[in-house]
Amino acid sequence: MTLRLIIFVLIVIGLLVHHPESEAAPPGHPAPLPSAAADHVILFVLEGVDRQSLKTGPMPALSRLAKEGAATWSAGTVAPPHRLPAMASLLTGLPVGKHGITWDTFEFSRGYPRPPTVFDYLDLSGGRDSAIFFMDESLYQLAKPEPYTDYQVCGPLKPECSPERLVSYIKQYVRKAASGEGYGHAILGLPHFLVVHLPDGARAGMEHGWSSGGYRTALRSVDQAMKSVLAIFKDHGLLARTTVFVTSLSGTGAAQGESTAASSPVPWIASGAGIKNGHAIRQPVSIVDTGATVLRAFRLETHTEWESRAVEEIFRDAPGVATTSAKGR
């Protein structure tokens, strides 16, 4: 074998075994950022919470997520910002006029929504399972039975239903799902996508007033529930590989009527795996964009008819987007 041929063979072997992504960073250079793909995603869906809420009562868990991640306090919701239509928009990636759910109570005769939801897209594009915990019976309208989703729904018809009780359900669910034997329902292991609905802020604000002690108590309860869910994931060693999203179906202005929906912006926050630290989101954001951004967090891609668009600038691997401080937003 000639020397030229030997050199050629060595070069080919080097190309086959060369894996630059596994190499350590050169001395004096920062290590590469971890992959933006999340193993798990938690979505907290609040109600009756906006920036003004933090002046009414401190929400340390929410504030920390905003400080440590990417945030805007001026995201748009839907009009009117009623619970069932707004949640349908968040999950289907469509405005109310397109998904067609205009009523706000569970009506068995109407069946489930026809448009596919983010849960369908997660299954079709990546085989991801979802566990959904709703705190209102009206949302049974969205609880379409599928082999890749588990639902638990409680609400005002069950006096014992509270954010604390919902957390206990989630704790039990995760413990059984992590046991290796599955939960015993549709999903046989830990869900990739966890949705936690916490509407007590809106309920207390509308019943007692937006500056009342009852509203402040509800905010504390909601914030503590978020903190507890994050602690569950930390205890199971999942939090470092989890992306967390927080938004609200309505702000405090929603109680004054439909016309205030556009002037009552809501928070939209992302934090955790793959998300920029201390980033103030510059682009316009709507709760409708949540589904596509969840897909993006998993690095999944799907071609759909929906109007949900990924909030690309929040991700550490987003090209050409500078990080800015989230203070003052």
Query: How would DSSP label each residue in 242-296?
Result: EEEEEEES--GGGGG-GGGSTTS-EEEEEEETTBPSSEEP-S--BGGGHHHHHHH
At position 17, the amino acid (one-letter code) is V
Element (H, E) at 130: strand 130-134
Of the given ranges (81-95, 180-194, 260-274), which has the lowest mean pLDDT? 180-194
Which residue from 129, 101, 105 is spatially nearest to 115, judged by alpha carbons?
Answer: 101
pLDDT at residue 209, as a whole number: 94
Provide mean pLDDT across the span 255-263.
47
Condensed to tens digits (0 to 9), the pLDDT of residues 33-71 reads 445 579 999 999 999 999 999 989 899 999 999 999 999
In this model, does residue 258 exceed pLDDT 60?
A: no
Query: pLDDT grade, residue 116 (50/70/90)?
Result: very high
pLDDT value at residue 178: 84
Q: What is the pLDDT of residues 125-136, one digit of tens each?
A: 888 999 999 999
Residue 310 has pLDDT above 50, yes or no: yes
pLDDT tens by residue, 215-235 = 999 999 999 999 999 999 999
% residues pLDDT > 90 (the chain): 68
**Which residues sit opposite 80 in a β-bridge?**
none
pLDDT band at residue 8 using 50, 70 and 90 as cut-offs: very low
Which of 195-199, 251-255, 318-322 has the lowest average pLDDT? 318-322
pLDDT at 166 over 80: yes
Residues 271-293: pLDDT tens digits?
A: 999 999 999 999 999 999 999 99
Instruction: State how beta strands 70-75 and 40-46 pair.
Output: unpaired
As a whole number of angstroms, the distance between CA 299 and CA 305 comes to: 19
pLDDT score at 183: 54
Label residue 270 by pLDDT band (50, 70, 90): very high
Compare 115 and 319 and report the one with higher pLDDT: 115
Taking residues 257-278, report their average pLDDT.
80
Please give the pLDDT value at position 185.
57
pLDDT at 126: 84
Range 174-202 average pLDDT? 82
**For the chain, what is the mean pLDDT?**
84
Q: What is the gyration radius of the CA atoms in the chain, in angstroms?
A: 22
pLDDT for residue 254? 54
* CA distances to 2, 5, 17, 18, 191 from 8, in Å: 10, 5, 15, 15, 49
- pLDDT at position 104 is 95
Q: Looking at residue 218, what is its pLDDT?
A: 97
Q: What are phi and psi of 6, to 5 degrees?
A: -60, -45
Structure tokens at 171: 């704790």
Q: For residue 80, say if its preceding peptide bond is cis, omega within 30 degrees of 0.
A: yes
pTM: 0.84
